[in-house]
Amino acid sequence: MPKKIKLSQRVTRQHAGKRLDQVAAELFPDYSRARLQQWIKQGELTVDTKTFKPSTRLAGGERLRIEATMTPSGEVLPQDISLDVLFEDDHLLVLNKPAGLVVHPAAGNPDGTLQNALLNHAPELDILPRSGIVHRLDKDTSGVMVIARSLKAHTSLVKQLQTRSMSRIYEAVVKGVTSVAGTINAPIGRNPRERKKMAVVSGGKPATSHYTLKQHLPGSSHLEVSLESGRTHQIRVHMTHIGHPIVGDPVYGRGRVKQKALLAEAAAALNDFPRQALQARTLKLIHPDGGHHCEFHAPLARDIRVLIDILDCLCSS
């Protein structure tokens, strides 16, 4: 159903000389500047009942009014796909995404995605950009994700991602024996030879990953990884860059583990793992309505847990 928004705010003297869209963003902080600019251009955000350009300078004392209607996009259809809900309220929906689930429709995946499932679970999400999806996990990465359930939450979560006040902690099993801890500070961009892949490249976007060792395993290491940035495939690219690609990664995995000194069972467990052994374990954010700090955890996916248990048993045998 369409959602009608009616709001009004008085422009203060402190706002005198500022652009209309800038003042609107300060007076209506629950909405993004891009959306407010759209409402201004459509005549749904007025100044003393008159329409102006977003760049118009205000004198102070004017009355800004929003009378807008948000209608469902209808671009993505709901589908009955089960969701593992970790937390839910009027503003947030926190999920444990399984491996194998694509986040939103794209070429090669027109439906059967998380976005289709979200619209079935909460149809009102259709009025939000990308049905409230503000960040993503790769298809074969499992773990915790947050979805915005309101425009206020969407604006807040996007800002938290931009300012890095939202943080995520991952667990991964990587090939080889790593150091106890380390920091990878290497820019990431498109691979110049394979445009569908990312790589560490000069001139790429700054990217920093920190890892700590949880456990050494036969031919591998169980790590905890945290990010200072959120580049595409960042952990996968960074771990490959230092010679420790994630077990099971079909894109950056650098071939099979050679048996050598490993037991055949360990080599088989590592080589046969069907997807990248990477899980978004913890998500920390500020609640967009209450302003309090929230922390959400997704239990380690069963297939990764089984892999670690098998390797651990072989290590101690």
Catalytic residues: 138
**Rounded Cα gap, residues 26 and 9, in angstroms:** 10
DSSP structure class, residue 26:
H
The contacts of residue 4 (CB under 8 Å, 6+ apart) are 67, 68, 69, 70
Amino acid residing at 222: H
- Check if the beta carbon of residue 219 is closer than 8 Å to that of residue 267: yes
**Rounded Cα gap, residues 107 and 240, in angstroms:** 27
Closest Cα partner for 98 from 139, 47, 152, 128? 139
Cα pseudo-dihedral 48, 53, 59, 62, rounded to 10: 20
